[in-house]
Amino acid sequence: MEAFKEKITKCLQRAAVEESRIDIVLKGQYKEAYELLRDAEEAGLTPAIVGPPGVGKTLLCRYYAQQTGRPFYWVTLDENTKPSHLIGAFNPAVVLDRGFTLDAFEPGPLTLAMIDGGVFVANELNRASEYVQNIFLEPLEERSYYIPHIGRIRAADGFFFIASMNPQEIAGVHRLSEALRDRIHVWITLTYPDKDTELEIVRFHCRDLYIPDEILNKIYAIVARTRKHPEVEKPASIRSTIAMARLVAKKASRTGDYSDEVVAEAAYNVLLGTLKPRPGVRVEKVARSIISEVLRLRK
């Protein structure tokens, strides 16, 4: 195993990059979620963060890793994810030349996180097949994993597994296997934040731009309406709010125009790619309807 650890160390050194420091708005539900992550780890429990896309689940986990001084690893899973995407695999060309040696094995992010004592996030865990979900059973239960031709690897003390999931009602998700669900102990819910928190997040990400409060309130009203509209299946996320704000600010910096028409144009161009309407509804139609309703513009 010492030879394997040495190989992993070399992989980490080759992959090492200077990550920029991140900051987040740590208040309200985000502060509570952060504290739950800390308490879960200190209690030796495995947490899962459940919430719709774009509410900051992965960013919060990355921030947690940063604040606790550990490397951060993550994989976004779906139906096409294979165990090798997590554990790693032998390079066929090297195997043909040298056999199943350490040099032939290319470790995956889960293996790297275990050896490196890092924070690992299984993002959108409930989009993976049950077969892939069950790959995590041994690392969670025994803090180890057996790799054929190499042997059993054991997780360093700092290894911390976090599951990240979309709500069950979102299309494309699967039920967690009972065995995996039984190994997740702490369930943390993140939703779209309240207005004050979301606008603070937007201002944080637009701190290089000037955006009047009146414009931010209009943008938020459009985004909030998508989250309650009966014809919308997947509404606009916080990222959409930020995108609209930046788009309006950039255009207004050139023209000085902060009119409702400018807000409407920016909102429409963002919503076209972020809204998912219910079956039978055209995204162009529902986007224009929401914008006109909020801004009282003529259709």
Verify that 83 and 207 share a domain, yes or no: no
Q: CATH no. for residue 8?
A: 3.40.50.300
Cα separation, 224 vs 94, in Å, equals 54
Verify that 84 and 130 share a domain, yes or no: yes
- The percent of residues above 90 in pLDDT, for the chain, comes to 76
Q: pLDDT digits over 43-54, tens only?
A: 999 999 999 988
Mean pLDDT computed over 7-20: 51
**Burial of 181 from C-beta contacts in 10 A (0-12 / 13-18 / 19+):** middle
Provide the angle, in degrees to the nearest 10, between the axes of the packed helices 238-255 and 260-274: 140
User: Last residue of some domain: 163, 189, 215?
Assistant: 189
User: Last residue of some domain: 140, 158, 189?
Assistant: 189
Domain range for 72: 2-189
Counted domains in the chain: 2
Mean pLDDT computed over 19-41: 92
Verify that 149 and 261 share a domain, yes or no: no
Do 60 and 33 contact (CB within 8 A), yes or no?
Answer: yes
Verify that 215 and 166 share a domain, yes or no: no
Q: pLDDT digits over 32-71, tens only?
A: 999 999 999 999 999 999 999 889 999 999 999 999 999 9
pLDDT, residue 104, reads 82
Q: CATH no. for residue 285?
A: 1.10.8.80
Mean pLDDT computed over 225-243: 95
The yes-or-no verdict on residue 201 having pLDDT over 60 is yes
Verify that 137 and 277 share a domain, yes or no: no
Spatial CA neighbour of 160 closest among 142, 176, 143, 177: 143
Verify that 205 and 171 share a domain, yes or no: no
Verify that 200 and 59 share a domain, yes or no: no
In terms of pLDDT, which residue wins out, 279 or 93?
A: 279
Verify that 171 and 29 share a domain, yes or no: yes
Verify that 181 and 203 share a domain, yes or no: no
Its pTM stands at 0.86
Verify that 65 and 170 share a domain, yes or no: yes
pLDDT, residue 175, reads 82
Residue 162 is given by DSSP the state E
The yes-or-no verdict on residue 298 having pLDDT over 70 is no
pLDDT, residue 137, reads 95
User: Last residue of some domain: 157, 189, 221?
Assistant: 189
